[in-house]
A and B are shown apart, each in its own frame.
Chain A
Amino acid sequence: KAGVTQTPRYLIKTRGQQVTLSCSPISGHRSVSWYQQTPGQGLQFLFEYFSETQRNKGNFPGRFSGRQFSNSRSEMNVSTLELGDSALYLCASSVGQGNEKLFFGSGTQLSVL
């Protein structure tokens, strides 16, 4: 069974640009959640999608958005990039029933210059 796949693995952008990250969940998983990881801040929850609908949302500005497709693949978009957006962005998939194991991808390391 293939794991959670995130692309690209690394990204370098400049301030003001926008970026799109992709996440392919484990087959059969309908929930995809996104996290921002920075040193000392742990895993900050961005949003969660289930069956193409945003089911939960964290406390991030509207520049951060996402979507989920009918095959459960998800994309995350960040517009008008700021230096502080530099981080590792992780996605995680699960069946979507709640209170269950999350399977994480390897992440996309975003650097904003």
Chain B
Amino acid sequence: GENVEQHPSTLSVQEGDSAVIKCTYSDSASNYFPWYKQELGKRPQLIIDIRSNVGEKKDQRIAVTLNKTAKHFSLHITETQPEDSAVYFCAASSGGSYIPTFGRGTSLIVHP
């Protein structure tokens, strides 16, 4: 089955800095890569996703890049703000699976 590794487990940055979270996956058939954000005490919510026919996707201050050859994808957050503090989960799924496999999460702390 699919295996998703996520790094780092904790990331601490100053407000205004950029943050990068990296994930690798094992199944070359995976073609859908969502990212979820879970604020403290709240439910995970999708913030951005990318499909394998696209190398990069942006939405305001967040962007995701995908390298299919190396089987890794990354989340980039620019100009971080305290409200970006949360746990971020990457995931991967293939057309044959209806359920994504999640990474273990990255706790992002943005210091004012």
Contact = CB atoms under 8 A, between A and B. Distances in A.
Interface residues of A, number: 24
A100 to B, nearest CB: 8
Nearest to A50: B98
A42 to B, nearest CB: 4
Contacts of B6: 42
B46 A102 contact: yes
Interface of A: 4, 31, 33, 40-43, 45, 48, 50, 55-56, 90, 96-102, 104-107
22 contacts: A33-B99, A40-B104, A41-B104, A42-B6, A42-B89, A42-B102, A42-B104, A43-B44, A45-B99, A48-B98, A56-B98, A96-B98, A97-B98, A98-B98, A99-B51, A99-B95, A101-B49, A102-B34, A102-B36, A102-B46, A104-B36, A106-B43
